[in-house]
Amino acid sequence: MELLRLSKAAKSLGVHPVTLRLWADSGKIPVTWVRRERRFSSIDVEAMKVSTGGERVRLEGLYLRVSGSHEQEASLQTQEKELRATSTGEIVKVFRDRASGLREDRPGLSRLLRAVADGSVTVVRVTHEDRLARFGVDWLTHVLSVYGASLEVPHPKKLSSRDELLEDLVSLVTTFTGRLYRMRSAENRRRLLAESGQCDAGRAA
């Protein structure tokens, strides 16, 4: 029998060290303390492999996204509620974004991909594909597979190729129209402030 360090035992089981630590704390797997360090019996680790069927443990990362409006908070809650209700594994963390699905620099998505890369998430779940991204879902799925993770979507698309292309076109037009409107609104505000003399007063102050 060999006493394995936490990282080595977790790697053998195909789980994140944090998950193995939680299992030890809950009594799911015996742990031996060597000074202040956890050690795991190689026999117990092999037994745990058998109990899980030798399959990689489902560590779920739930990804929620809305376009950015404060009025869409209810949508985030609805998405999370549905994903939690259909979960079949351990929910590690919930990742949220309030941004367009066309943006690549979303903080929540970046954190999710880092969690996938370090092994703390093995299954990414979204209610609909377009919550993850408006375009490039296939590429993101490929990136997940490189790290041994998968994407699950309870509501897959059921559109024909023509309808899907039309939907993508509408999404593009809607997104860029919104951006143009916000740019023009900002320009109008600056123009009105300049005409009223508030800009000069502000600089003088």
In tens, the pLDDT along 91-118 reads 999 999 998 887 878 999 999 999 998 8
The predicted model scores a pTM of 0.57
User: Which of 51, 69, 85 is the C-terminal boundary of a domain?
Assistant: 51
Are 27 and 65 found together in one domain?
A: no
Report how many domains make up the chain: 3
Task: Over range 148-177, report the average pLDDT.
Answer: 65
pLDDT of residue 159: 47
Average pLDDT in the chain:
80
What is the 8-class DSSP label of residue 116?
A: H
What is the 8-class DSSP label of residue 53?
A: T
**Distance, CA of 96 to CA of 153 (rounded, Å):** 16
**Is pLDDT larger for residue 84 or for residue 46?**
84
Q: Which domain does 22 fall in, by range?
A: 3-51
Q: Is the pLDDT of residue 50 over 80?
A: no
173 close to 147: Cβ distance less than 8 angstroms = no
Q: How far is CA 64 from the centre of its chain?
A: 7
CATH of the domain at 64: 3.40.50.1390
Are 21 and 101 found together in one domain?
A: no
Q: Is the pLDDT of residue 130 over 70?
A: yes
Task: Over range 181-193, report the average pLDDT.
Answer: 70
Are 87 and 127 found together in one domain?
A: yes
**Distance, CA of 124 to CA of 111 (rounded, Å):** 12
Are 139 and 187 found together in one domain?
A: no
Are 124 and 189 found together in one domain?
A: no
CA atoms within 13 A on the CB side of 1: 10
Are 65 and 148 found together in one domain?
A: yes
With H, G, I as helix, E, B as strand and everything else as coil, classify residue 115: helix
Are 106 and 66 found together in one domain?
A: yes
Give the helix ranges, DSSP H, for 28-160.
42-51, 73-85, 107-117, 129-132, 137-146
Are 165 and 144 found together in one domain?
A: no
Are 8 and 83 found together in one domain?
A: no
Are 140 and 166 found together in one domain?
A: no
CA atoms within 13 A on the CB side of 152: 19
pLDDT of residue 205: 46
Residue 111's closest CA among 97, 91, 125?
A: 97
pLDDT of residue 156: 72
